[in-house]
Amino acid sequence: MAQHNGESTGELLKQFSQDASTLIRKELELAKAELTEKGKQAGKGAGMFGGAGLFGLGAFGALTAFLILVLAEAMDAWLAALIVTVLWGAIAGVLALQGKHKVEEAAPPQPEETIETLKEDVEWAKRQPESVRR
């Protein structure tokens, strides 16, 4: 058997196999951590959509009624109701756009660090002597 720094090819292959297994396990752990973080960002965006729905449905009914009554003192009640409806719709639109932006920041989940380290691992493996790669 060929010798390399006092170790046989079999011993080198065994060590390489163990190192590769450890490396793959660590890469998977890194990918899992990155995807978890992206999921949290998407959750925040979804929460903002919930807030937009709250305003869009006019959840603040008492405030809505108050504004309509105040405006009705200066104009017809139907016009006051229309103005308040447009106001709540604009607020809902702003929240929806902010929520959409947060979701887009998180999607699609790309584990950037894992991809980069995998590229480095491939380059490292290519630089290994032919006898170790077999």
Contact 102, 48 (CB under 8 A): yes
Per-residue pLDDT tens digits for 14-34: 888 888 888 888 888 888 888
Higher pLDDT, 55 or 85: 85
Omega of the bond prior to 108 within 30 degrees of 0, cis? yes
Length of the chain: 134
Residue keyed to tokens 């719709």: 89
DSSP class of residue 108 equals: S
Number of Cβ within a 10 Å radius of residue 111: 19
CA 50 – CA 61 distance, rounded (Å): 17
Higher pLDDT, 37 or 55: 37
Residue range 99-111: average pLDDT?
80
How confident is the prediction for the chain on average, in pLDDT? 83
Nearest to 117 by CA among 32, 18, 26: 26
Question: Full-prediction pTM beyond 0.75?
Answer: no
Q: How confident is the model at residue 94 (pLDDT cuts 50, 70, 90)?
A: very high
Residue range 34-40: average pLDDT?
87
Is the pLDDT at 119 greater than 90? The verdict is: no
Q: Using a CB cutoff of 8 Å and minimum separation of 24, what contacts does 83-86 make?
A: 85/58
Higher pLDDT, 63 or 70: 70
